[in-house]
Amino acid sequence: MPLLQMKNVNINYRLKNRQVRAVRDFTLDINEGDIVGVIGESGSGKSTLAHGLMRILPGNGYLEASTITLNGKDILNISDSEFRKLRWVEMSIVFQKAMSALSPVHKIFGQMYDAILAHKPETGKEEAIKKLEKLLAVVNLPRKALDMYPHELSGGMMQRMMISLGLIFNPKLVILDEVTTALDVITQGQLLDEIKRLVKEFGLTVMMITHDIGVVNELCTKIAILYAGELLEYGDVKDVIFKPLNPYTKALVESHPDLNPHGGGLRGIPGTLPDLSNPPEGCIFYDRCTCRLDRCREEKPELRDFNNRKVKCFKAGEFNG
Ligand code: ATP
Ligand code: MG
């Protein structure tokens, strides 16, 4: 049984005279122990998917799906109060801009404890400190960091602190949304090592949202390629990166200087994301695809099983893989 099962997830944002269809027909199983990299350009719907799963969409956003289960339990049709009981406890999320969430004039532990109490009012101070100390040790943060003010911690230390906070109630699944993005390369490398240690030590399952395919290559076991709100390819990270079946995946890999098999520098993918308030009828990548067929304009390819992975492309396997 998958730890997280998502079937036909659609997430829309209502605007004055239109709707942004930010995530469309997203279907994916995440198994226990997987470290899934969710990758896509800015605006592809990564955070929307995460927020939808955690029920923290803004007021104009809403999610529809046929199934969402966590550990076999229906988490789609339960009430908000039921859902609140499992947020942080079974599934948590850590954001990129951790620092800005904290007040600069109060010490870190007090603010973290307030957040902990908001989720589980019965948590004792000593218990919280004990749990945090254990987590901080794994991510190489000194105990005294809890008594500091936010500005006394570097960006990397702050991210480690926020990740520790997100793990305080031992959730099985943690969603990390661009937690390494604002960090320099060395700090990013350290944080990735620490995340690996946390995964091992606490048996975590991770959804790692990033737009850096290098980070996915370094950390993840699986990769989900998101483009303009649709899942285009999913599978084992090495298979997908080194033998992409979807032309968008291939372009994404080639745009990364370290992963490009032909060498060379950073190359962008010409063109822009389609209008999400009026997505095209056919393949979502049609406009920018260098391998497209006539049928791709009118006909949307299904996500299908192919060589042990999932791919959405009529030509999957013909040009690569
Ligand atoms: P990034 O890499 O920049 O974080 P992302 O993949 O996380 O991008 P989202 O933030 O999920 O992308 O945005 C997906 C789409 O939804 C974008 O077109 C965005 O403009 C739109 N969107 C996000 N939030 C809202 C909102 N509150 N109202 C309307 N549209 C929104
Ligand atoms: Mg985002």
97 in contact with ligand 1, CB cutoff 6 A: no
Report yes or no: 89 and 100 within 8 Å, Cβ to Cβ.
Answer: no
Q: What is the pTM of this model?
A: 0.94
Fold of the CATH domain 2-90+171-311: Rossmann fold (3.40.50)
CA distances in angstroms from 301 to 229, 233, 269, 292, listed in the order given: 15, 12, 21, 12
Judge whether residue 315 has pLDDT over 60. Answer: yes
Determine the pLDDT at residue 320.
57
12 in contact with ligand 1, CB cutoff 6 A: no
CA of 209 to the centre of ligand 2 (A): 8
Query: Which ligand 1 atom is at minimum distance from the Cα of 48?
Result: 11
Nearest Cα neighbor of 69 from 7, 5, 2, 1 is 5
**Which protein residue's CA is at the shortest distance from atom 9 of ligand 1?**
45
> What is the rounded average pLDDT of the residues 270-288?
93
- How far is Cα 142 from Cα 49, in angstroms, rounded to an integer? 34
150 in contact with ligand 1, CB cutoff 6 A: no
Determine the pLDDT at residue 321.
45
ipTM over 0.95: yes
Could you report the per-residue pLDDT of 47-92, keeping only the tens digit for each?
A: 999 999 999 999 999 999 999 999 999 999 999 999 999 999 999 9
270 in contact with ligand 1, CB cutoff 6 A: no
| Helix boundaries (H) for 14-154 | 46-54, 80-86, 98-101, 108-119, 125-138
**Which protein residue's CA is at the shortest distance from atom 20 of ligand 1?**
43
What 3 state SS string does 33-54 have? CCEEEEECCCCCCHHHHHHHHH
Judge whether residue 44 has pLDDT over 90. Answer: yes
> What is the rounded average pLDDT of the residues 234-246?
95
CA distances in angstroms from 59 to 12, 13, 27, 268, listed in the order given: 11, 9, 24, 34
Pocket test residue of 9, 24, 39, 44 for ligand 1, highest count of atoms within 8 A of CB: 44
272 in contact with ligand 1, CB cutoff 6 A: no
Report yes or no: 91 and 70 within 8 Å, Cβ to Cβ.
Answer: yes
| Domain locations in the chain as residue ranges | 2-90+171-311, 91-170
Judge whether residue 98 has pLDDT over 70. Answer: no
What is the longest distance spanned by two Cα atoms in the chain? 65
CA distances in angstroms from 321 to 244, 295, 309, listed in the order given: 6, 22, 11
- How far is Cα 277 from Cα 275, in angstroms, rounded to an integer? 6
Q: Where are the beta strands (DSSP E) in 161-219?
A: 173-177, 205-210
Pocket test residue of 16, 38, 42 for ligand 1, highest count of atoms within 8 A of CB: 42
Q: How many C-beta atoms lie closer than 10 Å to residue 23's C-beta?
A: 27
Nearest Cα neighbor of 223 from 209, 6, 176 is 209
37 in contact with ligand 1, CB cutoff 6 A: no
Ligand showing the shortest atom-to-Cα distance for residue 211? 1
